Amino acid sequence: MTMLKPVTRLRGDRVTLAHGGGGKAMRDLIEEVFTDVFQPANREDQARLTNAALAEPGAQLAFTTDSFVVDPVEFPGGDIGKIAVCGTVNDLAVGGARPLWLSAAFIIEEGCEIALLRRIVASMQAEADKAGVTIVTGDTKVVGKGSADKVFVTTSGVGVIPPGRDLRAERIRPGDVAIVNGVLGDHGAAILAARGDMALSTDIQSDCQSLNGLIEAVLGAAPDARAARDATRGGLASALNEMAEAAGVSIEIDEASLPLRAEVKGMCEILGLDPLYLANEGTLVLFVPAAQADAAIGAMRAHEAGRDTVAIGTAGQHEPGRVTMRTLFGGARLVDMLVGEQLPRIC
């Protein structure tokens, strides 16, 4: 049997301003690159959503939005499409929500390769399938050459928080244990190396991954988990400072317990960076009561997204809002909130 090659209506291999003009060229781009992959339930200007979880008494709707401008748009371990799905799914999941639906809007630079768009869209769909979410609506705009950098993506996500689930930083109490699910700084290090500015050679890949399955696993084992936060821009240090301030507790972490690759440590030493502030895209910090810490760690290590899970510190009641680290030399170091940004356009 002879397989027929799909007929393409797109002309050329790059995006032109005509693809944003609202006519046939725009329709062909949207249908061939986006909707043929995402397969929305209808082609109206709005998605129409229903789910049995919304009818549960006490259920809450969760909604989040984020924009992605990462440079380069393709990097070891992911691309702007994958990170857009993971970032939005994770923002819902760390609040206890079960992600259901995403929207995706694209700002495309004139001259962007259509083949690049196809790879990004395929990556988004693959990650959405893995995370169990559906991309239900979206938008495209084309801007002149030099007005963007290849492609920017904005995603919004909707999920449902089941009745009785309450993950908030304000719930952290003295004595709670801080846990991270994996090594720190891989995403920031991978992006920095991929830019090629520093002539660095490394095999480090981004930790970009969806964490909703991990959150469900840990909540099954440690139902009294207090709060979770994904350590993205600003890294672990910024996430801990935000949580300490919101809860009115102090947090002390142990440098010897921090999971860091030797390559990331070495890169930071060369460039004068602090790995505690490097971005992550698949790493979270979770606080649980001490009595449930072992159960939480065991459940996380049994999940593919948490095999490197370790406890890194505890919450206390000294100097609320302050984060400190016990150093390898036995002293104490203040871990303050990041001022500015170590690396721009990291996500």
Per-residue pLDDT in tens (0 to 9) along the chain, 347 residues:
444 445 567 878 999 999 999 899 999 999 999 999 999 888 888 889 888 888 899 999 999 999 999 999 999 999 999 999 999 999 999 999 999 999 999 999 999 999 999 999 999 999 999 999 999 999 999 999 999 999 999 999 999 999 999 999 999 999 999 999 999 999 999 999 999 877 677 789 999 999 999 999 999 999 999 999 999 999 999 999 999 999 999 999 999 999 999 999 998 998 889 999 999 999 999 999 999 999 999 999 999 999 999 999 999 998 999 999 999 998 999 999 887 777 889 99
CB 116 within 8 A of CB 73: yes
pLDDT of residue 116: 98
Tokens of 226: 């207090």
pLDDT of residue 12: 84
Per-domain residue ranges of the chain: 17-39+59-161, 169-334
CATH superfamily of 169-334: PurM-like C-terminal domain (3.90.650.10)
pLDDT of residue 8: 67
Cis-peptide into 163, omega within 30 deg: no
Q: Please choose, from the candidates 36, 268, 55, 261, the residue with its C-alpha nearest in 3D space to the C-alpha of residue 160.
A: 55
Tokens of 313: 């510190």
pLDDT of residue 121: 98
Tokens of 186: 């891989």
Residue 92 to residues 1, 52, 101, 190, 249: CA-CA distances in angstroms? 47, 18, 11, 25, 24
Distance between CA 47 and CA 42 in Å, rounded?
Answer: 7
Helix/strand/coil (H, E, C) string of the chain? CCCCCCCCCCCCCECCHHHHCCCHHHHHHHHHHHHHHHCCCCCCCCCCCCCHHHHCCCCEEEEEEEEECCCCCEECCEEHHHHHHHHHHHHHHCCCCEEEEEEEEEEEECCCEHHHHHHHHHHHHHHHHHHCCEEEEEEEEEECCCCCCCEEEEEEEEEEECCCCCCCHHHCCCCCEEEECCCCCHHHHHHHHHHCCCCCCCCCCCCCCCCHHHHHHHHHHCCCCCEEEECCCCHHHHHHHHHHHHHCCEEEEEHHHCCCCHHHHHHHHHHCCCHHHCCCCCCEEEEECHHHHHHHHHHHHCCHHHCCCEEEEEEECCCCCCEEEECCCCCEEECCCCCCCCCCCCC
Q: Please choose, from the candidates 259, 13, 9, the residue with its C-alpha nearest in 3D space to the C-alpha of residue 117.
A: 13
pLDDT of residue 247: 98
CATH superfamily of 17-39+59-161: PurM-like, N-terminal domain (3.30.1330.10)
- Name residue, tokens 């495209």: 140
CB 335 within 8 A of CB 325: yes
Predicted TM-score (pTM) of the model is 0.94
pLDDT of residue 15: 95
